[in-house]
Structures are given as structure tokens and as C-alpha cells.
Chain A
Amino acid sequence: MEMLKRASTAVLAILCSLWFVSPVMAESDVAVGGSAQARLDFRVEIPTVLFLQLGSGGAVIDRITFTVNEVPPTPIQGVSSGGNPVPVTARGLVPTGNTITLTADSSIAMTDGTNSVPFTEVSWSAAGDFSGGTFTGVAGQQLDQFTDSGNRTGTYTFSYANSTYRPTGTYDGQVTYTLSSP
């Protein structure tokens, strides 16, 4: 009987102590007095993203037309079917220290079906974040290189050198620009 009484006393004491002790859990938290706390973790995943636009946006490919109404060697300024000068935008999200490179492929010469004009006859002046230059008539000509993420904007204004006497005709060609990051 005495042992039973002692056991009952012990159980009561435990129950009493449990009543006053706060169960503390995170990240739901119960606190007696003071404050209760909970946490949330956040994760932002940013992959490498590149964006390039020359001329009009979307699927439209602008055409730069040089109307040669002067004899060589008078340069001829080009006129775009889109905006003039030609707007250029190169945007990129890349890891710290990584490069973003703008290249051009002008390896296929302009042609009228019979005769051709190499793209080395075409040059451009640039404004904003980009550099001017002359096409080299090769694939993978580096035009500009940037480091780290950023939004680079500028314009191109094209001109035809008109350095040589050529057969009259309409010469068409296309340059492909590529923005890349390793």
C-alpha cells in the first residue's frame, strides 16, 4: 500500500511538471512566455540564360539595303527595313567570371545568282555597349565579349565600301549572329 502511494505521488509530480514545461518544436513552435520562432528556407535557381536581338524583335529578319548610286570608291550607307540605326541587345545571366561572346558568320558571300560580293565589303559603326568593325567573311568572327551577367544595348549602322567595280545586279546575303557563353 505504501509503495502504491509513493508511485501515485511520483506520477502526480511528473504530471505537474509536464503541465508547466513547454514543448518546443520548430518549425511550428510553442513557447511559454517569451517568443515562439519558426523558419523558412529559400532557394533561387538561376540557370545560364542568353538573349540576343538585332533589329526588329520576334521572327522578323530585317534587311539592310545598300543602293549603289555612286561609282567606286564612294562608300554607301545602308538602310534597314526595321529601325535605323539597327538596335542591338545582348542579355545574359551567367555565373560570376563567365564570358558572353557575340560572333558573326559572314562566310557565305552575297550573290546575284552569277556573281558575288564578299562580306568584307560591309562594315559597321556601333554605339552603346558594342564595337564597330568589318566583316571578315568567315564563320565565328568575334565581335564583342562581355564578362558576367548583364543587359548590353547599342546600335549598328552599316555601310558598303563600294571599293571595286562590279557587275550591276542585286546581291543578297545573310549574316548569322550568335551569342554564347561557355
Chain B
Amino acid sequence: VINVLKRMELSNWGRRVLPALLLVSLATQAEDSCAQGQVVAQERVDIAIRSPERLILRVGSQGGRIDVIQFQVGSLPGSGPIPGVSSGGNPVTVMAKSKKISGRMLLTADSSIPLTNALGDTIPFGEVSWTGGGDMPSGVFGGQHGQILFSSTAKNVMGTMSFSYANRSYVPAGTYIGQVLFTLSAP
């Protein structure tokens, strides 16, 4: 493009601005010349601008806030699962989108660090499961890195998650906190 421009008699302003205009243009072909003064040569230039591959993931509230899923255990183990309540919307929204990406879109979870209380007692994330809604399948955290939650060729995946604590083990009373990291990738 630069060589072509050099061969055109352009003003300084044109030489600076034209490349930028060409870059932001979504047109895939350009045959028009843009010049001031006498045109001494013309050449066709094909310009292809590829929109960058983009992945969008949302789990819970939009923006920078991390939602908290809280389980209030009021019964003994074996009495049935305890439903979780999110500090954001209930059920928890999951939105995964890919733009200009061919192939599969993969959502994984890292739940390898267990829930821990102030005394160091732990509850594995294997005690936490969810019921999926929409495009989101149901499952149980594996307490591991890279647990595949879904693999899809769709460009848009919209769903929800409703979490439950199994409450099947006798663990020390206390407040246990932990975090799960969700990763959307297009391998």
C-alpha cells in the first residue's frame, strides 16, 4: 500500500490519513484512487481487513463484580442438598460468545482449590453441583483444573446455573469460602 501511495502524487495530509482510512474500512476491495493533483499512475490494491477473533464470557453479573453464591446450611448431612443463593441474579447467568472464530468454543472450570474456613478446614468443590438451564448443561465440580463444562460449535451460548451444596458429609461448623475460575477458549 505504501509503495502505491508513494507512486501517487498526494499531499502530506493525504499520505498520513489515507492508510488509516484504509485500515478501518471494512471494504474488502478498493480500486478508487484518492489523490490531489495529476495522477501519473494507477494500480489496483486489494485490501483485506480481518476482524479480530473475539471471545466473550459472562458468568453472573455483568462488569467487574464477582458474584457470591451462598449456601446456608441449617440441617444435618443427609437431609438433602442446600440450594445456593447468588448475590447477583438467580439463577446465575452464563453467556459465552465467539466472533469470527471457526471451530469449537470450550468452557472450562478450575475448582482445584477447595472451600476453606478460618481454621484451615476444607470442603472440596465436588460437594457443589449445579442444574443447568438454556444451553448450559448440568454438572458437578470436579475439584480440578480444566474441567470441561461444555464444548460447542455455536457462536452464542446462553444459559443459567443453579447451584447446590450436597451437605452429605460431617464437616466442622464454620464459614467456608472459595472461588471457581471459568475460562472460555477456542482451541
**Which A residues fall within an 8 A CB radius of B?**
5, 8-9, 12-13, 15-16, 19-20, 22, 25-49, 51, 91-96, 98, 148-151
Contact = CB atoms under 8 A, between A and B. Distances in A.
B150 interface: no
A42 B183 contact: no
Interface in B164-183: 165, 170-183
Given A40-B179, A93-B76, A5 B13 contact: yes
Contacts of A34: 55, 185
B174 A49 contact: no
A46 B166 CA distance: 13
Given A27-B67, A47-B73, A47-B74, A37 B184 contact: yes
Contact of A149 (B20, B65, B165, B172): B172
A12 B20 contact: yes
A9 B11 CA distance: 13
Interface string B41-83: 0000000000011111111111111111111111111000000
B95 interface: yes
A37 B179 contact: no
Interface string B112-146: 00010001010101001000000000000000000
Contacts of B61: 27-28
A172 B92 CA distance: 59
Contacts of B73: 44-47, 49, 93
B6 interface: no
A94 B56 contact: no
Nearest to A151: B170
A46 B173 contact: yes
B67 A41 contact: yes
Contact of A42 (B23, B52, B128, B174): B128
